[in-house]
Chains A and B, each alone.
Chain A
Amino acid sequence: MSSVVLPGAPPVNLNVVRWIGFQTIVIREYGRIIRIWGQTIVPSVVTATLYFVIFGSLIGRRVGAMGGFDYKLYIAPGLIMMSLITNSYGNVVASFFGAKFGKHVEEMLVSPLPNWVIVAGYATGGVVRGLLVGAAVTVVSLLFTHLQVQHPAVILAAGLLTSLIFALAGFLNALFAKNFDQVNWIPTFMLTPLTYFGGVFYSITLLPPWAQQVSYINPILHMVNAFRFGFLGVSDVSIGLAFALMAVAAAVLFAVAVALMNRGAGIRE
């Protein structure tokens, strides 16, 4: 049903309501990111700078070439991707859990917006922050290395899909979280280890065969390598498989988030 006539009232086009509602959530999320830029943008830029200085310039000199590239150049796409992952995730989990905690999530729940629009709005907000911070870290990386761009469409697609996946994952975390501790569990105990073992700082060809096989289970390995392929034209994994995995993961996470919202999990009595 895209349009209804309210008795005695002008017709309401529900598609227009959904579109304006979606825009409103995204604008609100963007406003939040900008309002608290010291918490949302600056930390990742500082962290990336430290990584470049310590791992890239100081330790990297002794590491030599990685995958046929200067070490700083090799880790640059991985560092951009790492900031994109943590910020997409962190934005949604903090914002949506904050809305739950402060009860202002009810502003949306009582409105005519369907749950899929709410999920899409928050996920887009996460993508916006991921891309903003990713762009800022890219600028930082240009101060340390001469970043190449081999396949810009691959970079954009991998960046968008990865950001979307982790924004949706952050939404699920926020949905289930009952306190601030639970907001931090997943990033600390799952996201950070998976990212560090996801080929950000090394090529998995350095690992023994069994460890390489284990690494293929890590979804972040596929995302980082697809992203790196866009910049450097090299990858430890199949790019086609990486994009297929990302597309399926995004679709499944979105469907699960909407289904949970429809059931009222974590938000309705």
Chain B
Amino acid sequence: MNALSVRGLTKTYRNGVQALKGVDLEVERGDFFALLGPNGAGKTTLIGIITSLVNKTAGEARVFGHDIDHELEAAKACIGIVPQELNFNMFETPYTIVVNQAGFYGIPRAVARQRAEKYLKQLQLWERRRGMSRGLSGGMKRRLMIARALVHEPRLLILDEPTAGVDIEIRRSMWEFLREINDRGTTIILTTHYLEEAESLCRNIAIINGGRIVERDGMSSLLRRLHVQTFVLNVREPLAAAPRLEGYVATVVDDHTLEIEVAKEENLNDIFARLSALGIEVLSMRNKVNRLEEIFMQLVEGRGPAGEGGRGAAAAAPAGAAGATPLRAGAPR
């Protein structure tokens, strides 16, 4: 039985905007699943329908087998949600917020207090449990929403950009925490603008664009389909012009920086050998963009997934579709 099963889900808002155009999606139990898409692609609408914050127009959704049309209470009992926007009472304390949330899921108050302590400690908020929540830093507020989502120990945790605005150190520690949660059996669906985050954490991925799923694959399988990567090389001596490297596209970025596009079947040793023969000494090298970002941009721009597979190209939304704004990867590189 899947943790989430969505069939033919459509949503047309009152203003006529068709946010979802027949979404089919399966997420296996225990999965760590990435749902990616540009702003306005339909991610939050999809999550809103699953969590009953948005009324669907048509289609069906099941959470651990519970149909949201007929067993909504049972379906919602399985879900914990960390929304994109802060949505807790800023005038309540973190402790009260978490304890009350447990109550909304039927957790007796004594147990709720224990759980609140457990999760507030795990998310390093215990020392701040008594102050008003509006006094927390941005990262703390995000962690509070994670603690709140976990207090009823959901079987499906949905995280809608949980690390937005969080510094790198805290983001990394949140990743570790989420991995542990997932290892203990909680299915996680993650939407994020940090594609490095999705690549690092998730085993499966769906990309949504213009209200349609344009790609659904395993993370490693999808990344294998990347046809070309661009490497940025720092060189010791200043470059007057791009070196002639037959079979490769090389571009000079500045005096000491060179970009080279490399097909995935090419051997990097060959490039280094040629550069060495030309007297160019390479000091360091990095990938120009995150691999997932490369695929993502190809899919949402309707260019197909890197020349292979082609499923995404066929299903890609038309140019200019609602929310076709390119997603910007803010991942540290």
Contact = CB atoms under 8 A, between A and B. Distances in A.
Given A7-B64, A12-B106, A107 B73 contact: no
Nearest to B87: A103
B325 interface: no
Contacts of A13: 106
A106 B96 contact: no
B55 A20 contact: no
Interface stretch (A23-31, A70-78, A135-143, A204-212): A23-31
A24 B116 CA distance: 15
Contacts of A110: 51-53, 76, 79, 81
Contacts of A233: none
Contacts of B48: 269
Nearest to A107: B101
B104 A99 contact: no
Given A17-B106, A106-B87, 4 more contacts: A6-B66, A21-B104, A102-B87, A107-B100
Nearest to B158: A110
Interface string B73-85: 1101111010101
A214 to B, nearest CB: 40
Interface stretch (A83-91, A111-119, A187-195): A111-119
Nearest to B81: A110
Interface of A: 1, 4, 6-9, 12-14, 16-21, 23-25, 27-28, 31, 35, 98-99, 102-104, 106-114, 264, 268-269
Contacts of A35: 91
Nearest to B64: A7
Instruction: Pick the 4 closest A-B CB pairs, nearest first.
Output: A24-B103, A17-B106, A111-B104, A103-B87
A17 B105 contact: yes
B175 interface: no
Contact of B87 (A9, A104, A264, A269): A104
B83 to A, nearest CB: 7
Interface in B135-157: 148, 155
Contacts of A107: 87-88, 97, 100-101, 104, 148
Nearest to A19: B106
Given A264-B55, A269-B53, A112 B73 contact: yes
A7 B76 contact: no
Contacts of A18: 106
Nearest to A121: B104
B65 interface: yes
Interface string B94-113: 00110011011111110000
A1 B53 CA distance: 22
B245 interface: no
A111 B81 CA distance: 10
A193 to B, nearest CB: 32
A112 B53 contact: no
B71 interface: yes
Given A6-B77, A7-B1, A103 B103 contact: no
A20 B106 contact: yes
20 contacts: A4-B71, A4-B77, A8-B29, A9-B78, A14-B73, A17-B105, A20-B107, A21-B104, A35-B91, A98-B89, A102-B87, A106-B83, A107-B148, A110-B81, A111-B101, A112-B104, A112-B105, A113-B73, A264-B55, A268-B53
A264 B54 CA distance: 8
Contacts of B77: 4, 6, 12, 14, 17, 112
A7 B65 contact: yes
Contacts of A19: 106
Contacts of A20: 103, 106-109
B88 A104 contact: yes
Contacts of B78: 6, 9
Q: Which of A7, A99, A108, A264 has the most CB of B within 10 A?
A: A7
A36 B322 CA distance: 45
A23 B107 CA distance: 11
A101 to B, nearest CB: 11
Contacts of A27: 100, 103
A3 to B, nearest CB: 9
B84 to A, nearest CB: 11
B89 to A, nearest CB: 5
B314 to A, nearest CB: 30
